[in-house]
Amino acid sequence: MTTRDMTKRRAPPLSDAEEALLQASIANNPDSAELTDAELARLRPARDVLPPAVYAALTQGHPVQDETGRVQLTLNVDPDVLAAYKAGGPDWQARMNQALAEGIARGKRRTRTVKRG
């Protein structure tokens, strides 16, 4: 199935019984109450209320930097690697970042050495 085919597929309409069950669930759950007309009128676009960096990340896929300039990400590492860093105590993430930075520096030195040779 192509992406184009998937975008054309639609969920079948709810039966009357399914709709009634859904409406009953909404009525019995205060966290899922429908917005009133007044609440809907107060809504503003995300680009108007989010910090520019957050909005850009959400709409363009760019990572968000924190106040230190670092970027949060998800990284898959071997469990023993993570355990070893955490066993070193607090600031294990900073130590891991330092190790990565040192690895980059070693790689750059190695590349320069190879080019000269």
The answer as to whether 2 is a domain residue is no
pLDDT tens-digit map of 73-112: 888 999 999 999 999 999 999 999 999 999 999 988 877 7
For the chain, give the mean pLDDT: 84
- Whether residues 57 and 80 share a domain: the answer is no
Q: What pLDDT, on the 0 to 100 scale, is given for residue 34? A: 80
Between CA 71 and CA 93 the distance in angstroms is: 12
Q: What pLDDT, on the 0 to 100 scale, is given for residue 7? A: 54
**Percentage of residues in the chain with pLDDT exceeding 90?**
44
- pLDDT band (50, 70, 90) for residue 27: confident
Give yes or no for a contact between 84 and 91, defined as CB atoms under 8 angstroms apart: no
The answer as to whether 1 is a domain residue is no
The answer as to whether 23 is a domain residue is yes
- Whether residues 42 and 20 share a domain: the answer is yes
Instruction: Specify the number of domains making up the chain.
Output: 2
Between CA 96 and CA 102 the distance in angstroms is: 10
Q: What pLDDT, on the 0 to 100 scale, is given for residue 1? A: 46
- Whether residues 62 and 78 share a domain: the answer is no
List the beta bridge partners of residue 65: 71
Q: Please compute the mean of the pLDDT values over residues 3-17 and round it to a whole number.
A: 72
- Whether residues 86 and 62 share a domain: the answer is no
Which domain does 114 fall in, by range?
74-117
The answer as to whether 97 is a domain residue is yes
pLDDT tens-digit map of 31-78: 877 889 999 999 999 989 999 888 887 887 666 777 788 888 888 999
The answer as to whether 107 is a domain residue is yes
The answer as to whether 90 is a domain residue is yes
The answer as to whether 5 is a domain residue is no
- Whether residues 87 and 47 share a domain: the answer is no
H, E, C per residue of 30-96: HHHCCCCHHHHHHCCCHHHHCCHHHHHHHHHCCCCECCCCCECCCCCCCHHHHHHHHHCCCCHHHHH
Q: What pLDDT, on the 0 to 100 scale, is given for residue 115? A: 61
The answer as to whether 91 is a domain residue is yes
- Whether residues 78 and 63 share a domain: the answer is no
